[in-house]
Structure 1
Amino acid sequence: MKQLSFDALQQVALYELYMSTVMDGIQFITADQLCERAGCTKGYLLTALTELEERTFVKYNSTATSRSSSITPNGIRYVEKGLIDPKNVFSQIRDQREKYDEERTIVVRSVPASDRIVRLDHNNPQVEEMVATVQDLKVKIRMGNDLGDLTAEEAQAAAQEVEQIELALKGEFVRPEQIAAFARKSLKWIGDKAAGAAVGKAALALLAMIAAFFGIDW
């Protein structure tokens, strides 16, 4: 791991917090998530964040089990002022990130569709929505209040299959062709068996969401 200078780490951390809040709509990021984005150790990051908090650029949200950070309005203004100037470090960080994303897209597109691997960013609102939707569907099936023509045995099997989709979406990497094939068979089956019922509608809505996210037909 290439070691960032202390000042550089603070600037990268601020930029990542800015992008998370302003672009992704996610206010608080855990220290572990920010470490992954900034490429540093947790202790080094927390030291940097402490000083940023003293400068009123960052605020903490601490619980008994975790500590997360968010950029403040002062921090947002500070980053945006830097982004206006092409020579400013925040503009340079932005340009590097955009170049990396473009190169990564080219590499991914060069891989055959059947072998394509996609990394799931669990800070992405779309990924969060898919995970929340699959969890909601699992609960609906297990509660058994509106299952249409699904029998008790079929509902149990359906819940297990939905749980497999949930585990895949919670993972760091997925193969879109594989998850799409499984989702089509499972969710279409649930949608057909529970046609018109809440579970059937939820299953088809989830399938459409997965297809749209990965850019596949369903």
Structure 2
Amino acid sequence: MVRNSVSEIANQVSDQVLLYLYNVFADIDSDDESIRGEELNEMLEGVPERFFRLACELLLEDDLIEISDASWLSITKDGIELVETWSDERYEAANKNLMIAPASDRIVSLSHNSQPYADALGALEEVYEGIRSKNDLDISGGEKETCLVAVKTIQTVMSQETVTESIFQEFIVPKLRWIAEKCADKTIDALIGAAITAVLALSTL
């Protein structure tokens, strides 16, 4: 009975992980199509680490994700194809738990030649450089690198011509706030606040 319950929860978490990777990376044409497992586990609020690890093991066994030696997760072609064959019920269940807006979410065009887009990218670059150049952050070298990679991931997402509105609210903004929490620095907080304002301005165009 307990084993069945654990298996059921692990399968639910597996769908959350797979849907997250699909929503963020499936349409991105870039070499930077992965996220650190520890970071994703933290972003899936309320998911115990043991269930997250078990879910990743299940997905790996089925060749739906790939995990590097440094624990970076990426979705495979088989993973993308599986999500695209999910029933509406399965998608909605995973989507509800993940708190990502449905597929019918509004599409936002990113005009790469516009000033708001330039402002958003500039603000993100200031966050990156602010973290990179600051040597007195109260975090380890590995955590600092994770924050830098997180900013680069956001920049990669922003390089697309279109994104869904939910990407702003459920991925970019939470990730920036997560970076701010990790760095716990007033200067970085101010840079991230400016970046959030600039990024959200794009979602209203």
TM-score, normalised relative to structure 2: 0.47
Which protein is bigger by CA-based radius of gyration? 1
Greater relative contact order (Cα < 8 A, sep 6+):
2
